[in-house]
C-alpha cells in the first residue's frame, strides 16, 4: 500500500472484530531498533485496543530481519492464532538490501503457504531512515497498527475456514 496520501494508523475501528479470545505472537528484529520498537508499539497498542489481553501477546526478539523467518516459524508452534513479523531494512550502498528484502518476503510467504497460522509481514523496506521513521509512528502513521489489524482479520478468516472443513 502506498503511504504518500495515507496514514497507516487510520482505519474503521468499528469494523474490527473483538479479539479478546485471540493469542498473538510478535517477532521483532533488533536491527534498526528505533524503527522496530515504534512498529511494535503500534502493533501492541492496537491489539490491546481491540481487547486482546496483554498475557495473550508473546514477544520474541531476533537479531535482524532475515531471522524473522525462523523466529516466526518457531512462534507459529506456540499456540498463537497469528504472528506479526516486525522488521526494518534500509537501503544501503550494496545489494545486501535486495537479498534481505527478497529472502524475508519469500520466507514469510512460505510460512503462510506451509502452515495454518498466519504470519503478517510488517517489514519496512525503505530507501532511508527518515522514511522508516515516518512509517513507524511518524507522519505516515504506523505500519505496526496496520499489521495488527491485518492479524486480527486473518485470525477471523482462519477460524471461519476451520468451520468449513
Which one is catalytic: 50, 96, 115, 140? 96
**Predicted local confidence at residue 31, as pLDDT:** 96
**Predicted local confidence at residue 92, as pLDDT:** 85
**Predicted local confidence at residue 1, as pLDDT:** 42
Distance, CA of 101 to CA of 155 (rounded, Å):
25
Is 96 one of the catalytic residues?
yes
**Residues in the chain where the model's pLDDT stays below 70:** 1-5, 8, 162-165
**Predicted local confidence at residue 6, as pLDDT:** 74
Domains, the chain, in order of start with CATH, read 19-163 (3.40.50.960)
**Predicted local confidence at residue 164, as pLDDT:** 65
**Predicted local confidence at residue 4, as pLDDT:** 55
Crossing angle of helices 68-76 and 96-114, rounded to 10°: 10
**Predicted local confidence at residue 135, as pLDDT:** 95
Closest CA to 118 of 146, 85, 142, 70: 85
Region for residue 28 given its phi and psi (left: phi exceeds 0; alpha: psi -120 to 50; beta: otherwise)? beta
Amino acid at each position: 500500500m502506498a503511504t504518500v496520501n495515507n496514514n497507516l494508523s487510520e482505519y474503521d475501528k468499528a469494523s474490527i472484530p473483538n479479539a479478546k479470545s485471540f493469542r498473538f505472537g510478535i517477532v521483532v528484529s533488533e536491527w534498526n531498533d528505533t524503527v522496530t520498537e515504534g512498529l511494535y508499539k503500534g502493533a501492541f497498542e492496537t491489539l490491546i485496543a481491540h481487547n486482546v489481553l496483554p498475557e495473550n501477546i508473546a514477544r520474541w526478539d531476533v537479531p535482524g530481519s532475515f531471522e524473522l523467518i525462523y523466529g516466526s516459524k518457531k512462534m507459529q508452534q506456540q499456540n498463537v492464532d497469528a504472528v506479526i513479523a516486525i522488521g526494518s531494512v534500509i537501503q544501503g550502498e550494496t545489494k545486501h538490501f535486495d537479498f534481505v528484502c527478497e529472502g524475508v518476503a519469500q520466507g514469510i510467504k512460505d510460512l503462510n503457504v506451509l502452515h495454518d497460522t498466519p504470519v503478517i509481514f510488517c517489514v519496512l523496506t525503505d530507501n532511508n531512515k527518515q522514511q522508516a521513521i515516518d512509517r513507524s509512528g511518524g507522519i505516515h502513521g504506523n505500519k505496526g497498527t496496520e499489521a495488527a489489524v491485518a492479524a486480527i482479520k486473518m485470525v477471523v478468516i482462519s477460524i471461519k475456514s476451520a468451520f468449513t472443513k
